[in-house]
A and B are shown apart, each in its own frame.
Chain A
């Protein structure tokens, strides 16, 4: 059981990172980024290319995955979402745009990266024993890094001026603009920050699981599950949702055969949403 709990902790911290990215984008733009999983996948490939193909250190690749995928997100916001959001009659169109972007990125990745599963050499060797359970050191490193990143992100959003502006924008765009905040710059940056987190978590997890071009949809679905559990648009909910899903998944994989685990998780989430349509921490919204 300790083993399962530790696994849940490993998966949960990285999932929380994914959920935080999609939550930031959602709360400031009111757009659900359906391409989140694909951006995660690209982040994984960026690390693979820098580490294995170019032979640079893993950590350099990780920084690059944040920067490259983040810049991709800024470009998406500037050239796709912003012009469309200005002109649409129905807000659903932006969601469709995100889905189109997801299909586009995935088919492009298939062309560029190929079909093969890619992994990187282990970032740390050895096994650590913890409370009677055994855990590879690499996974411990991933937990620690992910936890540090989450802490840094929360500090950034909670205590810096830019973070405060982001929170204000999530609450009320007009009022924020009246306070002299440059919304155009800020929303592009927020979008980039969210996608950058997707790339970062992809880059981090490639150290444990290999990545392939078709991984995106599954990750997007997991991200949706997390924000539905935690409550959309709430940062603490995203972290909680990440850990809950990580826990359910680890327990399920330990007890049940493969495909049944997620089927049961889906059923649990559907039943849960009947009781609490806004998630654990979410506020009601339409």
Chain B
């Protein structure tokens, strides 16, 4: 076929026209017939979404998993509030950024408060960070996990690691024997704790010098940096490293469930903030402040409280995590001993008691600059 300029332009115009029609078509779709979830991996699995789709035939239910809290929040900031109905991020983001900026909206308390009663201690009170300063309920907790660091217990005993805590990484003998998982917002918190500082209070002057010293030392002694937990676990299992900075049940569980039970998340026994040195993340699922909201959003939030779905959320593909609903015997009975071992159920409660809630780091901007300068070397 001989392609003339005229034909070429005509085809191009046709394609452009079709492309422009795409988004227009969407604007006319009825919103009660669709729901879109922006979430961490797990909520987007068929085990979780399948039964909900069956229960809502005719509705288009779509879930997309993000790779970090800020990535997902950037989508809402970039104007996708009219695309998503639910967002699932870690606890401080909802309270400190999403709600104050009007990106999420309060949930119906009458409908959701009763679910707290069936949750584990610590969540049932109810969980304070699920509420905004104005008292509104802004998200429901489900998956959680202590998150401090991970060791290979064949090389470093659990007892010694818990006892040494963060000092393990300042030990000269550990130089070049550990990795840094570059979940930056976590590392900043953990480096504060390593430096004996409280990350949730303002850090200035002397504190900044201490933080800088720790950041330089930890990056200086790291054998590898990666944001890929599979790569990190692989390096730990094959002996490339003996421990990694920033990690917990979330990162260790896939390796443990695969049989490498020598990979273990560690929560330090002591630390600088009220004697605690560990940190715990708790996901909150919130309703996006969509100008054209879908009524399926709250239905889904209620649906994920059911025992089968709780299990499916806890053991979705990728990582395995405890869920706050495990106080309910119907939920608990869904887990077998191997699964409980993967999520370190034996020490979970104790680890939680040694952990601080993941909150917004007060001096984040200053610390982030020092942190990134240290990372660049």
Verify that A and B bind, or say they do not: no
Q: Contact residues of B with A, CB < 8 Å?
A: none
